[in-house]
Structure 1
Amino acid sequence: MSSPAPHIPGFSFVDLVGEGGFADVFRYVQELPTRQVAIKVLRSGTDLASLELFRAEANVMAQLSNHPSIVPIYQAGVSSDGRAFLVMEFCPPPHVAQRYRAQPLAVDEVLDIGVKIASAVETAHRAGILHRDIKPHNILTSTFGVPLLTDFGIASVVGESGAGGQALSIPWSPPEALSADSHDVRSDVYSLAATLYSLLIGHPPYERRDAPNDNATMITRIERGQLTPLRRPDVPASLVDILRRAMSVEIEKRPVSAMVLGRQLQDVQIELRQSPTRLEVMDASPSALVEEHPNDARTLVRPVSVIVPAAVNERPAPLRPAVDEQTRRPGAEPATGESARSQSAPRRAEGGPGPRARIAIGVVAAAFAAAVGYAVLAGGGDQADPDTGTLRGEDPADPVQPFDVPPAPVVTKSGKGTRWTFRWALEEPREGDEFKVELSGDGVTQAAPEYTTATSKTLTVAPADTVCVQVSVSRKGSPPSAASRQVCVVGQ
């Protein structure tokens, strides 16, 4: 049940917009400048330490909220009755949380949302903030239809009695967050992938139409990785593979950052012949102000200066696994033994688990006990494998097929004078392979690439003109190959 809207000087209450487990959202009209705003008000009972951390994180996020995929934050404070509040841009419904339940979203829209929200999540991580509650309900839509991520850090600092279980959004939570307070950026990567999977399937990723969906059963499915199969013929196998890997039970198997997940989603856009949505990241790390960031047509990294309050600096920093020079995969083999335990999910520094973890552990422990009992009653028995077994009545999870990225074609040339033929070949061609042929040089009049199943192209090249050819291959269910070596000829 929502609390009454507080009196906030300079704002006039309009109506209640939404209710959450730890906060209510009201619509107000700001007096100067005059505009509609949304004000999220935390429920009463938050302790002073949590309020201080709330203020600190609000200060950081307000500095980053001019990111194109983060809900703008205008103001933060504490009302006269002691409730913390955030003043944000008012985003009118419907939002994705209402839309995906009525009808799953189109693949191209989900990919666009995924890349944009990955940009926002990566930006927060580089500022030292984990989101911890990424889900469809926290992706709003601006007046112009732009997806915007909201509620950064709030769920991790509330800690009020009775709210922890609700603040932990079980259907989109990674396994490690169900029993500990994870500081690994890959926990947010998991939740983002689970959110995108929800938008494609029309319900949370572990929900079943013909089986119980209580928290205990959901937790069991999450811990076993028992995703509900996504049976949509229009969803590329490569996208299903990316999301399943990002939702791996083993944290080391997930993409090492939100940016890597975003790049993988861009690969699918290219596979579908869509213009990739640009990854736009604001980097607030100290090194960002002195290092040169390589940008390309798909990625833009802007170094920004952010004043980070002491309360945020004192928290354990988000764990960011090392990446190789292409930021595509982990830079080292997965850690094992004691090393893995120290890297995978560090707890809060001395003093025990934080407020959210203390509250959630009791709720989750009871839910887990119920889950074990349900699994036995459902017929798991002694023969069931606790890691891979299914509950009775559930289909096995979709098999995960590895990426099958075709190699770059090999291009050769032959001819003389003004008549030249370019040929390209693959080591292991497959039926249905389609080639993207790109021509460049002063002897080319048409710059647009050509898509063809042919393996050669003959051209007339005027004397002294240059024509260069590069070829890549598109294969159904796979990201496109790298482009071939550029091969050039000069007309004689």
Structure 2
Amino acid sequence: MQPPQIPGFTFVDLVGEGGFADVFRYQQELPTRQVAIKVLRSGSDAASLELFRAEANVMAQLSNHPSIVPIYQAGVSSDGRAFLVMEYCPPPHVAQRYRTQPLAVAEVLDIGVKIASAVETAHRAGILHRDIKPHNILTSTFGVPLLTDFGIASVVGETGAGAQGLSIPWSPPESLSADSHDVRSDVYSLAATLYSLLIGHPPFERRDAPNDNASLMTRIERGQLTPLRRPDAPPSLIDVLRRAMSVEIERRPVSAMVLGRQLQDVQIELRQSPTRLEVMDASPSALGEEQPNDARTLVRPVSVIIPAAVHDRPAPLQPSSEEDTRSPHRAGHVATGASSSRRPPPQRSGGRPLGLAARLGIGVVAALLVGAVGYALLAGSPGDDSRGKGTLRGEDPPDPVEPFERAPTPVVTKSGKGARWTFTWTQAEPKQGDEFKVLLSGDGVTNPEAQYTEATTRTVKVAPGATVCIQVALSRDGSGTSALSEKTCVVGS
């Protein structure tokens, strides 16, 4: 597509091409700087262009969020194509990097918390992203992950299963057949994006099967997630992402905020400093209430002018956190809005407020109790060996995350004699598609790397006096990878 002529900007080169838009690099004349201009393909009607303008106005007001690509300008070119002028972020971005080599767990967690902050901010302003994927996470000049393309696919009328703008590999099942207005659809796509960065390819792509759109959609609808085999990825992280990618929307975290808190819990488990959730809340209630901030969360009330074209659309469905036991209920864990932390003064049994002296007495007793408990917690008991476990001091306990049912550990037996031995493993209630991770060790092993197979036996030749040991784990769709079996060893003779 030819770049449009935009007054005040000089075309430099093509940055990228997408399903419904192209991105060009331009040189802005005043102030002088390089910018990225995303140009929607021609063919949008007047109503779609008006909605595009309205949504661009909202996102421009929120684009000073630290994890959202700054928007400088929006408009319609002389040939009728809508465009967005944004900060130019030079490559490589995560979309190019993760296909070459999966990203480190620590970086993926940091990206996840920051992008969750951006998604939550958009949701509180009434905007669904609808197209979260690795390609829409850019990297600033200083290495900061930035989310882009909020709602663009929907405002140009390309929604639904047959939409040109639908990114199937990261789309939730409900979006494959109909347009979704639920924030948990964005939660799914964010989790699918993080899973991709960890595994090195889209979450439902397989090496031994077709990866056309029809095959991917079938796996997405059935929840047949490709197993993640990384020894450095803790089971808690895999559980969080699998839960957020549940086929049943009710099983997912109720908001991007909750998903971000769960990712922070994994950071704390790994003894990493949790990345702070920074949310800008444009809801009317947030402007007049105290915001529940803590060391892990910062919520800033902001005043945003919501254009009528955006305000009149169906509002994003935001489930109440009180309806879901996996969502946090403490201060600072707000999913759908903030509430005041002020409490009424203590009451007498007859309903009248206590006098000043009585309240002072209660305060002194409470302070003594708190001091005693705090000292006990800091000092610990003489036999306390819990240092280095649990959450970091000063942090809240981890948010409860209901784990997926863990796959059962296989039982390994051995048979044979001399130099030829056969290991056999079984598991309760075998299922189609079960895959096993086989790890050999010992001085008689030439290839100690883990191997993956659907077979349930392994025959080995063992040199006289050498030892070969085996451990097996089960990897099953819909469940986490099991623990490794106990070592089973043989000695050649």
Per the TM superposition, whether the score is higher than 0.5 is yes
CA contact (8 A) 2:132 2:193 kept: yes
Match of 1:128, SS state, is coil
Code of the aligned partner of 1:48: A
CA distance in 1, matches of 2:324, 2:311: 29
Give the alignment's Cα RMSD to 1 decimal: 2.9
CA distance in 1, matches of 2:82, 2:59: 15
Partner of 1:227: 225
Matches within 5 A, 1:435-446: 435-436=387-388
Match of 2:381, SS state, is strand
Code of the aligned partner of 2:64: N
Matches within 5 A, 1:331-350: none
Change (3 A) 1:327 1:36: farther
Deviation at 1:324, TM superposition (A): 3.2
CA contact (8 A) 1:242 1:264 kept: yes
CA distance in 2, matches of 1:177, 1:106: 30
Partner of 2:339: none
1:369-408 deviations in Å (ceiling 9; x for gaps): xxxxxxxxxxxxxxxxxxxxxxxxxxxxxxxxxxxxxxxx
1:409-448 deviations in Å (ceiling 9; x for gaps): x9997xxxxxx982467xxxxxxx953389xxxxxxxxx9
1:235-286 deviations in Å (ceiling 9; x for gaps): 0000000000000000000000000000000000000000000000000011
Change (3 A) 1:63 1:411: closer
Deviation at 1:229, TM superposition (A): 0.2
Change (3 A) 1:16 1:470: closer
Code of the aligned partner of 1:286: P
Code of the aligned partner of 1:94: P
Partner of 1:488: none
1:135-154 deviations in Å (ceiling 9; x for gaps): 00000000000000000010
CA distance in 2, matches of 1:412, 1:92: 52
Code of the aligned partner of 1:203: H
Partner of 1:422: 381
Structure 1 residue 275 and structure 2 residue 227: aligned? no
Partner of 1:82: 80
Change (3 A) 1:471 1:239: closer
CA contact (8 A) 1:95 1:140 kept: yes
CA contact (8 A) 2:113 2:260 kept: yes
Deviation at 1:157, TM superposition (A): 1.3
Change (3 A) 1:437 1:175: closer
Code of the aligned partner of 2:54: A
Matches within 5 A, 1:153-172: 153-159=151-157, 165-172=163-170
CA distance in 1, matches of 2:28, 2:172: 38
Partner of 2:90: 92
Match of 1:187 among 185, 188, 193: 185
1:265-324 deviations in Å (ceiling 9; x for gaps): 000000000000000000001111011111000000000000000000110000000013
Partner of 1:17: 15
Q: How much identity, in percent, do the aligned residues show?
A: 83
Change (3 A) 1:291 1:9: same
Deviation at 1:470, TM superposition (A): 12
Partner of 1:462: none
Match of 2:56 among 55, 58, 76: 58
1:132-188 deviations in Å (ceiling 9; x for gaps): 000000000000000000000101111269995331100000000001111000000
Deviation at 1:329, TM superposition (A): 1.9
Partner of 1:304: 302
Partner of 2:249: 251
Match of 2:75, SS state, is strand
TM-score normalised by L of structure 2? 0.68
Change (3 A) 1:325 1:287: farther
Match of 2:163, SS state, is helix
1:15-46 deviations in Å (ceiling 9; x for gaps): 00000000000000000000000000001101
Change (3 A) 1:412 1:187: same
CA distance in 2, matches of 1:171, 1:320: 24
TM-score normalised by L of structure 1? 0.68
Match of 1:436, SS state, is coil
Match of 1:422, SS state, is coil
Structure 2: stretches of 5+ with no match in the other structure: 330-372, 404-493
Match of 1:284 among 282, 285, 288: 282
Structure 1: stretches of 5+ with no match in the other structure: 332-409, 414-419, 426-432, 439-447, 450-468, 479-492
Asked which structure has the greater RCO (Cα within 8 Å, sep 6+), the reply is 1
